[in-house]
Chain A
Amino acid sequence: MSKLKSTQEILQDEDFKSLSSQKNTISLILTILELVLYFGFIALIAFNKPFLSQKLSGAITIGIPIAVGTIVLSWIFTGIYIRWANSKYDVLVKKVKEKIGG
């Protein structure tokens, strides 16, 4: 395999293009999901308090699992990113680095 030399060559490499576009897409999607999650929660509090005040079971209101769920989901999003990065991104990075010979 021929070694990639210049910065331009690496940037034009298919594997590099694939890893950068994949990372941008995943980062963007997850960022938007996080924004929707949190500001959706805030919007519910601001505009639909009765919904959050409904009883789920016993004294527990729907608002409680929604708030805790926002925390847990945020963490799960970071987990999704890690899973993708460890299994896909790192592999592509390694491949590109091998091509450079570094």
Chain B
Amino acid sequence: MPQASQTIIGQFNPVAVMFFILFVITTLGITYWAAKRTRTTKDFYAAGRSVTGFQNGLALAGDYMSAASFLGIAGLVSTKGYDGLIYSVGWLVGWPIIMFLISEPLRNLGKYTFADVVAYRLNQRPIRAAAAAGSLITVLFYLIAQMVGAGTLIKLMFGLPYEVAIVVVGTLMIAYVIFGGMIATTWVQIIKAALLLGGATLLVILTMAQFGFSYGDLFAQAEAKYTAKFLEPGGLVTNPVDAFSLGLALMFGTAGLPHILMRFYTVPDAREARKSVFYATGFIGYFYILTVTIGFGAAVLVGQDIITSIDKGGNMAGPLLAEALGGNLFLGFLAAVAFATILAVVSGLTLAGASAFSHDLFVGVIRRGVAAEKEEVKVAKIATIGLGVTAILLGILFKGQNVAFLVGLTFAIAASANFPALLMSITWKKFTTKGAVASIYTGLFTASILIVLSPTVWVDIIHKSEKAAVEKEIKAIETASKEKINALEQQKATTKDVAVIDASITAEKQQADAQIKEAKAKMPKAIFPLKNPGIYSMGAAFLIGILFSLFGREKEAEAKYDAEKLRSYIGIGAE
């Protein structure tokens, strides 16, 4: 097994670069092919609705399985054991919800974006503006998180400077989207998903071969190395309300992510839409099971010391395991797959953001629903460049910042601003324009404000130095007290009055405890107690949407509900 000094992670890796260039050449070739087929808005936003359920299932999985989840969850499992497994479960459970509540009506009622569905029988302009705001903010926050992660990971794996990595990722994603639209983006997702699933499967086979393909052996060795605690739930879930809130955000946020929702328009009908969720759920579930296995395998075969010495968060657990089992060649392959993964995810996000801008804001709001197709595609392409450049700049600006909270915020906003309005517009006859607009903005602002006031931002970021000062003070008290007690313990050997010294030791301990308590009182406190605001922001969005709808009836919208219902269930008139 390798020592920390033997790994080539962090250095320029020609094998990884070679694999990556191969991926880029292939995907740019596809983009060239796709560009010739991208003429209309239907091609640009929805790949001409020619994608099959199976292909879309892979593409959905490609959109959803980020490098952060691949490297991050393996890392979390390798350092925290069972807690990492708990975390991975939360990322899957939104998919069945998408299938049961959203996929078919979404496909039957909409054209290109989920705002089509919310605005179906409501007043177009205010709805489009609100839904576009919800989409764009979700996309932008998620993009920043992905970009910062991309720069850091690529630097670790390829030895490329952070800024160069960001510019490479940004430029390629812009190229895929503006030239190849949804057709190219879909194929980038499919290839990436196949590579990621294939690479992870191979890594798991190599890992399990070390344990005679027995999970019993793997866990027995993990227990022997890290005690039984490693296979038990630890400190991840301490506050049940917090866990519930995060769970809600993950579950319903998945069903409110614009780039995921948009994919349902690439298939020809509701039947294929529903099928694609079945495949996506299977692929993603399988992927998380692989990732967890990789995490445990890395903990045993590579070891936590080496993993955390390369990267504190444990992100390099998977690549280190690949290097240990398959050498430089496999490491290079996996690093390239991680790079491709990042690229695919940001491309999907950029396309969704550009669509919200061109289809909802430009055509729906500014042009009041009337625009030539050519013009709409042109605006979408300009929006792609704008969004891409913004993502590059913000990625560089946020270098070295703690952006982990942005992922939680993205899911909280998606669950609060996007999901409630979408669900109510499909299922509730009395839902009104005012109700929808109020619900979207309530979800958006409540989630954003509460996360700033939460421990994740208020304590860990805004009051970072105060927190560090208090932690330092506590540590100083502990060290000083330990030294005093040690000195007293030594006196025991030379004196007869052991009881007196024992009393001094007890007094010293009490004094130290009191001092620590005093210091802890100075710890900055979050104004909002939960780490994820999901439970409140989602609840508020539903409540406000219902109240505003009940207090002002909209007869026109109610009258159109029958037609919406018909189309929602049987797809008559669906595009």
Interface membership of B381, Cβ < 8 A: no
The listed residue (B220, B233, B274) touching A85 by CB distance below 8 A is B274
- Nearest CB of chain A from residue B393's CB, rounded to whole Å: 38
Q: Which residue of A lies closest to B223 (CB)?
A: A59
The listed residue (A11, A64, A67, A77) touching B96 by CB distance below 8 A is A77
Which chain A residues border B82 with CB–CB below 8 Å? 61, 63-64, 67
Query: Which residue of A52, A53, A75 has the most chain B CB atoms within 10 A of its CB atom?
Result: A75
Known interface pairs A16-B569, A45-B243; 20 further A-B residue pairs with C-beta atoms within 8 A, sorted by A's residue number: A10-B566, A20-B569, A30-B100, A31-B101, A34-B97, A38-B89, A38-B247, A45-B233, A49-B233, A53-B228, A59-B219, A61-B82, A63-B231, A70-B93, A74-B92, A75-B282, A81-B100, A81-B278, A85-B274, A93-B569
Q: Are B571 and A93 in contact (CB under 8 A)?
A: yes
Q: Are A39 and B277 in contact (CB under 8 A)?
A: no
Report B58-102 CB contacts with A as 1/0, cut-off 8 Å: 000000000000000000000000100110111011011101110
Which chain A residues border B231 with CB–CB below 8 Å? 53, 59-61, 63-64
Q: Are A71 and B288 in contact (CB under 8 A)?
A: yes
Q: Which residue of A lies closest to B216 (CB)?
A: A58
- Nearest CB of chain A from residue B107's CB, rounded to whole Å: 13
- Nearest CB of chain B from residue A66's CB, rounded to whole Å: 9
Q: Which residue of B lies closest to A57 (CB)?
A: B216
Q: Which residue of B lies closest to A44 (CB)?
A: B233
Query: Which residue of B90, B215, B232, B563 has the most chain A CB atoms within 10 A of its CB atom?
Result: B232
Which chain A residues border B240 with CB–CB below 8 Å? 42-43, 46-47
Q: Are B285 and A75 in contact (CB under 8 A)?
A: yes
Given contacts A63-B233, A64-B231, A68-B289, whether A31 and B97 have CB atoms under 8 Å apart is yes
- Number of B residues contacting the other chain (C-beta, 8 Å)? 51
Interface membership of B469, Cβ < 8 A: no
Given contacts A11-B562, A75-B281, whether A39 and B244 have CB atoms under 8 Å apart is yes
- Number of A residues contacting the other chain (C-beta, 8 Å)? 53
Q: Which residues of chain A have a CB within 8 Å of any CB of chain B?
A: 7-8, 10-11, 16, 19-20, 23, 26-27, 30-31, 34-35, 37-39, 41-43, 45-47, 49, 52-53, 57-61, 63-64, 67-68, 70-72, 74-75, 77-79, 81-82, 85-86, 90, 93, 96-97, 100, 102
The listed residue (A31, A41, A49, A96) touching B232 by CB distance below 8 A is A49
Report B212-241 CB contacts with A as 1/0, cut-off 8 Å: 000110011011100010011100110010
Query: Which residue of A30, A37, A38, A77 has the most chain B CB atoms within 10 A of its CB atom?
Result: A38
Q: Are B566 and A59 in contact (CB under 8 A)?
A: no
Which chain B residues border A85 with CB–CB below 8 Å? 271, 274
**What are 9 A-B contacts defined by CB distance under 8 Å?**
A34-B96, A52-B232, A59-B223, A59-B228, A71-B288, A74-B95, A74-B285, A75-B96, A93-B570
Interface membership of B487, Cβ < 8 A: no
CA distance A74 to B280 in the complex (A): 12
Q: Are B89 and A67 in contact (CB under 8 A)?
A: yes
Q: Are B237 and A45 in contact (CB under 8 A)?
A: yes
Q: Which residue of B lies closest to A70 (CB)?
A: B89
- Nearest CB of chain A from residue B146's CB, rounded to whole Å: 24
Q: Are A71 and B222 in contact (CB under 8 A)?
A: no
Which chain A residues border B572 with CB–CB below 8 Å? 97, 100, 102
Which chain A residues border B571 with CB–CB below 8 Å? 93
Interface membership of B482, Cβ < 8 A: no
Interface membership of B251, Cβ < 8 A: yes
- Nearest CB of chain A from residue B529's CB, rounded to whole Å: 16
Interface membership of B553, Cβ < 8 A: no
Which chain B residues border A42 with CB–CB below 8 Å? 237, 240, 243-244, 247
CA distance A38 to B553 in the complex (A): 37
CA distance A35 to B255 in the complex (A): 14
